[in-house]
């Protein structure tokens, strides 16, 4: 499958926050709730990955590629071997004694793989990287890893709206179970087929926020916090869309070594735990097509030739 590399403008975020008066950015008066259609658009079909294109001849697709086109998710049971999982589990568990206040939440850095080889070996496991390329259409670049052992409780969203607009679904994320996940611990939930919905656009979402909200940054890390603040807009819009479509919600019940790979446009969430004393031992890794992140120019490879982005983040 030939994929033509396109290079787009660099992402427009990252300017230093300057306090401004709180006001709504959109000057268009509204009547009624903000809808999913207000916040989204269909991308140019020529700019999306091959498996997302309409009219594709499916006769020669693999079983995984068919599942990707149909559901926007691929589940692989027992995929990751103990030899890959156990070194990371042991390294991650050391946080309980080293920094117990961080144990449940994991490393605060969004890219701890830069410093934790055991995590890097897991996220860049060559058979996994091969499957990601099979689904997206080009080699993938690791650029985010969430290491908390509790649910993120991040409500309904698509990952693509957090990306620069030029990414256009050249993106995938992987949820890895490090142990049996209790249904009371806040499992991953998703809406099969929602990857065929329009892409939520960050620009459209921020246009419905105040300028202060859209430009706010974490006072410690300097990271933008508009994605968290935008939940009050995005979640109700998605819930209205789910209700209007009568969408089915799936829950990922997982054992150690099971993985779920999901599409950048798949509607998903980390559900709220019913028991706060339970751990949800997992790792969540995010990847983009290597030719579709010009905003991440500093990158390197591991011993197996798998690529990851470098940001210079410390273990905070």
pLDDT grade for 30, boundaries at 50, 70 and 90: low
Asked if residue 94 belongs to a domain, the reply is yes
Q: Average pLDDT for residues 15-44, to the nearest whole number?
A: 65
> Which are the contacts of 31, defined by CB distance < 8 A and separation ≥ 6?
none
In a 3-state reduction of DSSP, which class is residue 256? coil
Residue 34: partners with Cβ closer than 8 Å, 6 or more residues away: 208, 233, 236, 237
Assess whether pLDDT exceeds 80 at residue 16: no
Predicted confidence at residue 23, as pLDDT, reads 38
- Per the domain annotation, does 11 fall within a domain? no
Q: Helices (H), strands (E): how many in the chain?
A: 10, 12
Residue 121 covered by a domain = yes
Structural domain contains residue 198: yes
Residue 34 belongs to some domain of the structure: no
4 located within any domain? no
pLDDT at residue 222, rounded to an integer: 77
Confidence at residue 313, expressed as pLDDT on a 0 to 100 scale: 76
Contact between 92 and 121 (Cβ < 8 Å): no
Distance (Å, rounded) from C-alpha 124 to C-alpha 299?
14
Query: Does 106 reside within a domain?
Result: yes
Q: What is the reported pLDDT for 221?
A: 72
- Structural domain includes residue 152: yes
Q: Distance (Å, rounded) from C-alpha 181 to C-alpha 254?
A: 6
Q: Domain of 172?
A: 63-309
Neighbours of 248 (CB within 10 A): 11
Count of structural domains within the chain: 1
Average pLDDT of span 256-270: 98
Q: Is the pLDDT of residue 286 over 50?
A: yes
Query: CA-to-CA distance for 199 and 158, rounded, in angstroms?
Result: 8
C-beta atoms surrounding 200 within 10 Å: 23
Q: Which range (7-16, 38-47, 108-117, 262-271) has the least confidence? A: 7-16
| Average pLDDT of the chain to the nearest whole number | 90
- With 90 as the cut, is the pLDDT of residue 13 above it? no
Query: Cα-atom radius of gyration of the chain, to the nearest Å?
Result: 19
Q: CA 114 to CA 307: how far, in whole Å?
A: 11
Residue 224 DSSP class: B
**pLDDT at residue 85 above 90?**
yes
Phi-psi region of 137 (alpha: psi -120 to 50; beta: other; left: phi over 0): left
CATH number of residue 140's parent domain: 2.60.120.620
Asked if residue 98 has pLDDT above 60, the reply is yes
């Amino acid at each position: 499958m030939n994929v033509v590399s396109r290079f787009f403008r660099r992402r427009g975020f990252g300017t230093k926050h300057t306090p401004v008066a709180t006001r709504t950015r959109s000057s268009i008066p509204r009547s009624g709730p903000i809808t999913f259609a207000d916040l989204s658009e269909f991308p140019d079909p020529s700019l999306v990955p091959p498996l997302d294109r309409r009219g594709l001849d499916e006769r020669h697709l693999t079983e995984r590629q068919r599942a990707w086109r149909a559901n926007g998710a691929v589940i692989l049971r027992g995929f990751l071997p103990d030899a890959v999982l156990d070194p990371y589990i042991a390294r991650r568990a050391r946080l309980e004694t080293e920094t117990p206040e961080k144990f449940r939440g994991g490393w605060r850095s969004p890219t701890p793989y830069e410093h934790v080889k055991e995590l890097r070996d897991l996220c860049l496991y060559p058979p996994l990287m091969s499957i990601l390329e099979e689904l997206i259409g080009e080699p993938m670049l690791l650029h985010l890893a969430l290491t908390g052992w509790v649910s993120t409780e991040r409500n309904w969203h698509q990952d693509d709206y957090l990306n620069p607009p030029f990414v256009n679904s050249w993106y995938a994320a992987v949820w890895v179970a490090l142990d049996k996940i209790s249904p009371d611990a806040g499992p991953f939930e998703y809406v099969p087929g929602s990857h065929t919905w329009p892409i939520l656009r960050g620009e459209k979402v921020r246009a419905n926020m105040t300028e202060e909200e859209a430009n706010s940054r974490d006072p410690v890390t300097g990271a933008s916090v508009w994605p968290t603040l935008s939940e009050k807009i995005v979640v109700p819009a998605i819930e209205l869309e789910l209700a209007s479509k009568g969408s089915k919600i799936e829950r990922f019940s997982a054992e150690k070594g099971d993985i779920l790979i999901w599409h950048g446009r798949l509607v998903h969430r980390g559900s709220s735990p019913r028991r706060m004393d339970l751990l949800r031992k997992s790792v969540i890794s995010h990847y983009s097509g290597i030719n579709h992140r010009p905003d991440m120019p500093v990158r390197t490879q591991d011993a197996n030739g798998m690529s990851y982005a470098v940001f210079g983040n410390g273990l905070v």
